[in-house]
Structure 1
Amino acid sequence: MAEKENTQTPGPTVDERIQELSRESLPFYKNRNLLKLYLLIIPGCLFPAITLGFDAAMMNGLQAVPNWDKYFGKPRGGLLGIMSAILPLGCVVATPFISMVGDRFGRRVGIFFGATVMLIGGVIQGAAQNFAMFLISRFIVGFGLVFANSFAPMLIGELAHPKDRQVITSLYQTSWYIGAILAAWVTFGTFGLCNDWSWRIPSLLQAAPALVPMATIFFLPESPRWLIANGKAEDAKAMLIKWHANGNANDELVNLEFRQMKATIEAEVLNASGWKELFTSPGNRRRLFIITCLGCFSQWSGNGLVSYYLVRVLETVGVTDARERNILNGCLMIFNWITSVISAFLTARLKRRTQFLISVGGMLAVFVSQTLCAGLFNEMKNKHAGQAVIAMLFLFYIFYNLAFNALLYSYPVEILPYTIRAKGFSLLMFFGKASNFINILVNPIGLQALAWKFYFVYVAWLCVEVFLVWKFFVETKGPSLEAIAAMFDGETEGRPRETDFATWADEKNEQHPSKEMVENVKKD
């Protein structure tokens, strides 16, 4: 008889076992400590996005407030652009300091620092006595915002249970629309006041969201990945046991999570080379290109027209009544929040590339239709076409929110390994806010000069976005944050192979990173 071949099915990798255990885990609402963690994330991490959303809708609303328009001399064109663009300019100026603060002092300190600066800026804005004071206050708000807006989604992604990470990180950006809803209806409620409080009240209220994370952020645990990278591996393990396993030190999932994090981060820290690490490997150069695309696409997809200049857009289709414009602004923000929450939950089911491709393809189709309708209204006085443009604004945001709200911060958390995550977010913020600055500055000039024909610019650009997403974006749905790195880098020198994580950790005897390793990270 012929001998039977010895065929032994290989066991699952560590990451596959983590995914399997994650699927079998109890839902978060049945895990007392995990539920508490997520409830603490709400005030600690969601309010930076609320501030940014509040600002965009507030600036939209204030343009329809007669007293604000009169107080600042009816700003239009470039002057109106700089009033809105000065906030992202503050963000751009702050970006070189993001990783310096978050990698050295922790994610929570970064959020607290940013919230404190935002509070100062908001108070000055509400008390502004002239155009220059209003501009300076908005610059200060932007400078602080970029710290909180970088580290909040980063901390959420690094604290979340593997089972919930995709959805809970995607939910972060949905709070942008909560701020937008508040601002839209606050300005609607105050625009009828016949004094300066019609615009000072919304301006002062912009400072309020910053108070919440300042008061609550230190009730959250620090990122376990930051703790490991800074020589506090036992604290990281204790954090995972308490919050992910409800205090069960023998939980298999938590032990695998910890060993995978520790093995990967120690290897990455040992081979880290500062900012130049972003450019030294093909994997990191691809990450850098994707981050650049995300930052630019998030602002140059046509959303900037509506986010800051809805009033001017509505003028192109004959909507001139201030009350009607404010109502449309408020209703659009509510609609956007609903669609953004749905989009966040879809991340648990859809693949990343699928979401991005549907998003950019859908925006292109809507913008082509919107341009056609705007042309029919303006050239042929077709009132139905003008009403269709308003409907297109709502339809556009269904597709925009599907990817550029749900995945704007969760996707970078996935594709960036720990040692360059803060640096990568610095670049995401730089390209995003720089694009926003240019966008806000150019849009009112373009609308004033070309009116509805300005839409053709975005039609052409969206064609570019479709191609770049299809060609370069990588699928990341499923694996852990540590395992995703291999999709870009493969089994590079210094990084433990996915199949050898547990063995690698055993060989290192679970040692903490050396003092030299920690000092190298802090220097970077």
Structure 2
Amino acid sequence: MAGPSTEKDRATSSFVEKGTTPDFGQNALDLDERILKLSNECPPFYRNRNLLTLYLLIIPGCLVPAITLGFDGAMMNGLQAVPTWDNYFGQPRGALLGIMSAILALGCVVATPFVSMVGDRHGRRAGIFVGSVIMATGGILQGASVHFAMFLVSRFVIGFGLVFANTFAPMLIGELAHPKDRQVITSLYQTSWYIGAILAAWTTFGTFSIPTEWAWRIPSLLQAAPAFVQMVGVYCLPESPRWMIAKGKADEAKAVLVKYHANGDDEDEFVNLEFQQMRTIIEAEVDNETGWKALVTSPGNRKRLLIIVCLGIFSQWSGNGLVSYYLVRVLETVGITDARDKNIINGCLMIFNWITSVISAFLTARIKRRTQFLTSGFGMLAVFATQTLCAGLFNDHNNIAAGKAVIAMLFAFYLFFNLAFNALLYSYPIEVLPYPIRAKGFSILMFFGKASNFINVLVNPIGLQAIGWKFYLVYVGWLCVEITFIWKFFVETKGPSLEAIAMRFDGETSQAEKKKSAKSME
């Protein structure tokens, strides 16, 4: 008869295959409850000097990927209103403008299969660093472009590097943050997209009137600047304790937890229990490596996979891609043709977006997930329907008031978009995906998100050029599809423990298997 250690290994293997956290009986549940209680009793981060330092270091060390992506969207919007850029590249419109914007997302998609080779083997920081080097190289090439092909290649290079950093940056944040702060801190990561957008929007506003090529070369070169900051900043951060445990560096991992989560107190009960739980789970997972097949072997994991795929697609196909890259073309459909006015609207919209996204990130601690997603979906649908009506009135009946209303609708749209698809884009998958399949789940999220972005950015200018404001009707119909999927498949994850969340996906079968295995170990 097999000894207890063999039974434990078999139990762990079963749970890993199911995609749930290993559970070795009532003691593990008691440990979860004790850690949660102690975590809530910990002082706020601003009273822990080391933890406050850690969060400040996260700004230059981890926020650059989202800043770079936001900078790109607003920069491409702004450059379309820069006469010297428009003339230098032959006034690109339709498919030509689409491929110029979408090529960055294509670089992301092509790089996705190679991401884990760096970050999983050499550490989260190494993955971020490699991505930063590639992004910086692409930014320099972009600013030095002498023809259309070189501009395209430079943007592909930026996208190729971006996906490395954008995968491991939120992962490193989540694995370093104190459990008490992790939900909000992870949600705040994506809000930095708008910081980059603000910088780009007002940079292009400041340079658009320069009569030389520097009107567009300056913002193009500046896209490389954040990557240089991150190359240094990421190595001011400690490595992920979870990764260090997986690589047999448990003592170093505990030292990081003690320093930042307990302000250097190695006798702190919370950190010792946190480390004990972390080490038990991760070492079991290392011994029973989870393959890609685990994503589809159980009904619960198949449902998780469906949610992640939908989240990646919805985050790009909700209408945000139309405004993020083609605001200038949208404004032209309602009679806004002055370059200065376009850049001012672009800059103000990005500031508004940043404010609302930060508020939305903090709301994740108070509002249920399904409520956030459904409110966001219905709100965007109402806004797009109204925007379509107003654009039609302006174009067909020359209604000036309706044209101005479209501008107001742009702000209203992002109020609802940011509520869920900015705030929950990374924090919701962390709750949905158990640790054994979390990294692979994030790879799926990145692939479908960037692939959807590529298709979306490529198609939008073609649609706008072909049918003008009527193209908005496509998004009205698609948002109805999104709301239906969210209502039917998205699972509520706020409030209950990880055990209860797993049960909502895996059902009673998973729980029965856990109890049976725990009983066999007693």
TM-score calculated relative to the size of structure 2? 0.90
Root-mean-square deviation over aligned CA pairs: 2.4
1:53 to 66, 70, 80: 70
Which residue is equivalent to 1:218? 235
Distance 2:493 2:263 in 1: 28
> What are the ranges of 5 or more consecutive residues in structure 2 without an aligned counterpart?
1-26
Would the aligned equivalents of 1:162 and 1:480 in 2 still touch at CA under 8 Å? no
1:381 to 398, 410, 418: 398
Which residue is equivalent to 2:279? 262
Distance 1:445 1:497 in 2: 57
Distance 2:380 2:453 in 1: 18
Which residue is equivalent to 2:37? 20
2:229 partner amino acid: V
Distance 1:426 1:100 in 2: 12
- CA deviations on 1:325-373 (whole Å, 9 max, x unpaired) are 0100000000000000101111111111111111111111111111111
Determine whether 1:102 maps to 2:119.
yes
Distance 1:443 1:87 in 2: 15
Distance 1:497 1:294 in 2: 32
Would the aligned equivalents of 1:260 and 1:482 in 2 still touch at CA under 8 Å? no
Which residue is equivalent to 1:466? 483
1:402 partner amino acid: L
Which residue is equivalent to 2:408? 391
Determine whether 1:358 maps to 2:358.
no
Would the aligned equivalents of 1:81 and 1:441 in 2 still touch at CA under 8 Å? yes
- CA deviations on 1:284-328 (whole Å, 9 max, x unpaired) are 212211111111001100001100000000011111111100100
Q: Measure how far apart 1:414 and its partner are.
A: 2.4
Would the aligned equivalents of 2:290 and 2:436 in 1 still touch at CA under 8 Å? no
Which residue is equivalent to 1:91? 108
Determine whether 1:241 maps to 2:258.
yes
Determine whether 1:306 maps to 2:323.
yes
2:86 partner amino acid: D
Distance 1:209 1:493 in 2: 47
Would the aligned equivalents of 1:241 and 1:249 in 2 still touch at CA under 8 Å? yes
Distance 2:499 2:235 in 1: 26
Distance 1:495 1:399 in 2: 41
- CA deviations on 1:352-398 (whole Å, 9 max, x unpaired) are 11111111111111111111111111122111111111100000000
Alignment of 1:372-451 (within 5 A): 372-451=389-468
- When residues 495 and 161 of structure 1 are mapped into structure 2, their CA distance, relative to the original with a 3 A threshold, is farther
Secondary structure, in 3 states, of the residue corresponding to 1:309?
Answer: helix
- CA deviations on 1:91-111 (whole Å, 9 max, x unpaired) are 000011112222111111110
1:322 partner amino acid: A
Secondary structure, in 3 states, of the residue corresponding to 1:280?
Answer: coil
Distance 1:258 1:481 in 2: 17
Which residue is equivalent to 1:160? 177
Would the aligned equivalents of 1:14 and 1:498 in 2 still touch at CA under 8 Å? no
Distance 2:30 2:360 in 1: 31
Secondary structure, in 3 states, of the residue corresponding to 2:296?
Answer: helix
- CA deviations on 1:471-502 (whole Å, 9 max, x unpaired) are 111222246778855553468599977998xx
Q: Measure how far apart 1:263 and its partner are.
A: 2.4
1:378 partner amino acid: N
Distance 1:496 1:260 in 2: 17
1:82 partner amino acid: I
Q: Measure how far apart 1:32 and its partner are.
A: 1.1
Distance 1:473 1:105 in 2: 34
- CA deviations on 1:401-436 (whole Å, 9 max, x unpaired) are 011111111212222233322222211111011000
TM-score calculated relative to the size of structure 1? 0.90
Determine what percentage of the aligned residue pairs are the same residue: 76
1:328 to 345, 357, 375: 345
Q: Measure how far apart 1:15 and its partner are.
A: 2.5
Determine whether 1:181 maps to 2:203.
no
Determine whether 1:32 maps to 2:72.
no
Distance 2:164 2:498 in 1: 22
Would the aligned equivalents of 1:113 and 1:147 in 2 still touch at CA under 8 Å? yes
Determine whether 1:80 maps to 2:88.
no
Determine whether 1:132 maps to 2:149.
yes
Secondary structure, in 3 states, of the residue corresponding to 1:171?
Answer: helix
Would the aligned equivalents of 1:13 and 1:498 in 2 still touch at CA under 8 Å? no
Bigger shift: residues 473-482 or 230-239:
473-482
Bigger shift: residues 233-242 or 84-93:
233-242
> What are the ranges of 5 or more consecutive residues in structure 1 without an aligned counterpart?
1-9, 508-524
Which residue is equivalent to 1:5? none
Would the aligned equivalents of 1:15 and 1:479 in 2 still touch at CA under 8 Å? no
Bigger shift: residues 444-453 or 284-293:
284-293
1:457 to 468, 474, 494: 474
Distance 1:493 1:44 in 2: 40
Distance 1:11 1:310 in 2: 52
Q: Measure how far apart 1:226 and its partner are.
A: 1.3
Distance 1:17 1:489 in 2: 25
Determine whether 1:170 maps to 2:176.
no
2:505 to 481, 488, 513: 488
2:131 to 92, 111, 114: 114
Distance 2:42 2:199 in 1: 37
Distance 2:239 2:366 in 1: 29
Distance 2:208 2:57 in 1: 35
- When residues 479 and 428 of structure 1 are mapped into structure 2, their CA distance, relative to the original with a 3 A threshold, is same
Which residue is equivalent to 2:162? 145
2:129 partner amino acid: F
Would the aligned equivalents of 1:355 and 1:402 in 2 still touch at CA under 8 Å? yes
1:316 to 333, 337, 347: 333
Would the aligned equivalents of 1:314 and 1:325 in 2 still touch at CA under 8 Å? yes
1:20 partner amino acid: K
Distance 1:486 1:13 in 2: 18
Bigger shift: residues 113-122 or 351-360:
351-360
Which residue is equivalent to 1:522? none
Which residue is equivalent to 1:517? none
Which residue is equivalent to 1:288? 305
Which residue is equivalent to 2:210? 193
- When residues 261 and 222 of structure 1 are mapped into structure 2, their CA distance, relative to the original with a 3 A threshold, is same
Secondary structure, in 3 states, of the residue corresponding to 2:336?
Answer: coil
Number of residue pairs aligned between Structure 1 and Structure 2: 495
